[in-house]
Amino acid sequence: MNTWRYAERKGKRDMEKQKIETLVEMILKEVPIARDDDDVLMLMYCKAIGYDVDTPYWQTLLEPSPNRESITRCRRKVQEKNPELRASENARRRRKKAEDEWKEYART
């Protein structure tokens, strides 16, 4: 593989991640409920980038959409860096419980 092309693609991916992180941080600051609910965060993110959130769900499957995992990873990173943007204690308990349930499911 051409090292130059790999570095160029990696640089673009890093820039894209930085853009996502910056936008997620802005949303977490302006919309406190998004700190507790990833669905609200995803909705606000889609609106911010100009994605038509009023289209029927089946139609959105045909269009490219933001990667939910990237957005939630950025949320975790932003909240780790900025304790004032962290989710409520109740939301953290719900997320921990869901994580434990998935781990238990994976073991079986």
Domain boundaries, the chain: 3-107
40-58 exposure pattern, b = at least 16 Cβ within 10 A, e = fewer: ebbbbbbeeeebeeeeeee
- In this prediction, residue 35 carries a pLDDT of 95
Global pTM value:
0.73
pLDDT tens across 17-64, in order?
888 999 999 999 999 999 999 989 998 998 888 887 787 767 766 777
